[in-house]
Structure 1
Amino acid sequence: MTDNESGARGGLGTIRNASRLLELLAQGPAFHHLTELAQESGMSVPTVHRLLRSLTIAKLVSQDPTTARYGLGPELTRLSNHFVSRHPVATAFAPFAVSLRNQLNATVSIHILVDGEVVCIDQIDADDRGAFRSPGTTQPVTRSAPGRVLLSHAPADHWSRVIEEDPQISDTDRDVWARADYIHVPSQDMVHPAQVAVPIRDASGMVVAALCADVESAAEAAQIDRTGAALARTAMTCGRTIIHA
């Protein structure tokens, strides 16, 4: 029995180990070898195999019949779709999505913070998106505009946990980001656009999501300001209808 297994026995331990495997399956390639998962998780091969068999029966994990490798299962897609369709922020944003996209002529999206990643829960593409489309996905929290918005308003322990893994970020950044009317993150490469994001606050004033718009890499300061102002107005309006998120 490995250290990870000996410290995680019983019902809660089984759930924790299963969650660890799902997290590993979400990283890297779409499918993974059993032995790779055992090595990365610190669990024995028989334990990993038993957990994967149970997760496969539940359709939370799928197994490629040709290679016998494991990947995330279709049940996760079904559950995530139900989560997004019922999310209070997505529901509140829906009436404003098209008009905001048309006003800015830009792709707009809303994001929530989950541990160390920012997750897109709704996105509407600009008309002139071009030949390549980037579907809503997860992003490193400190490298995206919505991630910085959300992290700067997260509890102190959450902030500390995330920046431990990113030495380029300091507590000063948190203060600057939290006070900013909007956050602008320039394009990091030729593929990903620059971003402008603002917080969405619910009726109690708590930051529950971030509203983001893509901007051109060469956008002037005045255009970025206009984008930030438009996002802030929409975020304030839709946030008033969010009772709990």
Structure 2
Amino acid sequence: MARTIQSLERAAAVLRLLAGGERRLGLSDIASTLGLAKGTAHGLLRTLQQEGFVEQDPASGRYQLGAELLRLGNSYLDVHELRARALVWTDDLARSSGESVYLGVLHQQGVLIVHHVFRPDDSRQVLEVGAMQPLHSTALGKVLAAYDPVAHSEAMDSEREALTTRTITDPEAFEGVLELTRARGWAADVEETWEGVASIAAPVHDRRRMPVGAVAVTGAVERVCADGEIQPRLVAAVRDCARAVSRDLGAGRF
């Protein structure tokens, strides 16, 4: 059996206690309930407080869960709400486009795929939920970098590797792509990440009109493009899907 880290186990126990008990607990209550020495409990609480996971009431000295823990929880819920709201619309997009559909969010300097709808045919396909895609070369990544300031910084500050001969690595040229993406409301990737593959993506916004993800159609270049250009019908379909998901998240009509 793998060994566990005792301090982390104890910190988790403190958080569970604060989450499941009274709204605020004193040091003595926490120490006695968990069977810890007061000095040990105080050290754990001080560390959790410094990280924002625990807050101490100035008047009573009692402890409660902190705002940082709430933020992390909301982040988890936001991703799952995004996926739940997108299920029907992404299924419809896959049927109408005849191509695979992906839903992605910013995660660790890349794009995390949180939902994947297979291309509606009998071809063998692999589920890519949980896979990571590059920020700088994919349509999903370009959309996130264009609309999300954090994603923009990640894309500009990280090394933009040339994955194919079409990958844009020059900073000024890449910034120009992001400006174009914001101007027209969608991004494309034509063999910039994988040879023979093209993609179109549009942003998804929440009730605060903040970018929370992107939706994309991906398929063979010969199907996504016509006469060397992205097919307008697919652009319209992807943008309609992104707007529909955004409306379901409370963004309103735009």
Shorter-chain TM-score tier: 0.5 to 0.7
Letter aligned with residue 143 of structure 1 = S
Letter aligned with residue 198 of structure 1 = A
Match of 1:142 among 136, 144, 153: 136
Aligned to 2:20: none
Q: Quick one: distance in 2 between partners of 1:129 and 1:223? A: 25
Give the Å deviation of 1:189: 7.1
Match of 2:93 among 100, 125, 137: 100
RMSD: 3.0
Q: Quick one: distance in 2 between partners of 1:148 and 1:86? A: 19
Letter aligned with residue 92 of structure 2 = S
Aligned CA distance change for structure 1 residues 132 and 243 (closer, same or farther; 3 Å): closer
Aligned CA distance change for structure 1 residues 228 and 135 (closer, same or farther; 3 Å): same
Is the Cα–Cα contact under 8 Å of residues 183 and 196 in structure 1 kept in the other structure?
A: yes
Is residue 130 from structure 1 mapped to residue 123 from structure 2 by the alignment?
Answer: yes
Higher alpha-carbon deviation: 110-119 or 130-139: 130-139
Is residue 242 from structure 1 mapped to residue 236 from structure 2 by the alignment?
Answer: no
Over the matched positions of the two proteins, sequence identity in percent amounts to: 17
Q: Quick one: distance in 1 between partners of 2:199 and 2:210? A: 22
Which ranges of structure 2 fall in alignment gaps of 5 or more residues? 1-6, 9-75, 161-168
Is residue 178 from structure 1 mapped to residue 172 from structure 2 by the alignment?
Answer: no
Is residue 224 from structure 1 mapped to residue 231 from structure 2 by the alignment?
Answer: yes
Aligned CA distance change for structure 1 residues 115 and 101 (closer, same or farther; 3 Å): same
Aligned to 1:233: 240
Give the Å deviation of 1:129: 6.3
Q: TM-score, normalised by structure 2?
A: 0.56
Count of paired positions = 164
Match of 2:155 among 162, 172, 179: 162
Match of 1:116 among 109, 115, 131: 109
**Once superposed, which parts of structure 1, at least 4 consecutive aligned residues long, lie more than 3 Å away?**
83-86, 188-192
Give the Å deviation of 1:207: 1.3
Give the Å deviation of 1:154: 1.6
Secondary structure in 2 aligned to 1:199? strand
Q: TM-score, normalised by structure 1?
A: 0.58
Letter aligned with residue 177 of structure 1 = T
Give the Å deviation of 1:187: 2.3
Aligned to 2:82: 89
Is residue 208 from structure 1 mapped to residue 219 from structure 2 by the alignment?
Answer: no
Aligned CA distance change for structure 1 residues 233 and 227 (closer, same or farther; 3 Å): same
Which ranges of structure 1 fall in alignment gaps of 5 or more residues? 1-10, 13-82
Is the Cα–Cα contact under 8 Å of residues 110 and 209 in structure 1 kept in the other structure?
A: yes
Letter aligned with residue 151 of structure 1 = A
Secondary structure in 1 aligned to 2:99? coil
Q: Quick one: distance in 1 between partners of 2:200 and 2:107? A: 20
Letter aligned with residue 179 of structure 2 = D
Aligned CA distance change for structure 1 residues 209 and 85 (closer, same or farther; 3 Å): closer
Secondary structure in 1 aligned to 2:106? strand
Aligned positions of 1:180-199 closer than 5 A: 180-188=184-192, 193-199=197-203
Is the Cα–Cα contact under 8 Å of residues 110 and 120 in structure 1 kept in the other structure?
A: yes
Letter aligned with residue 104 of structure 1 = S
Letter aligned with residue 209 of structure 1 = G
Give the Å deviation of 1:109: 1.2
Secondary structure in 2 aligned to 1:163? helix
Greater C-alpha Rg = 2
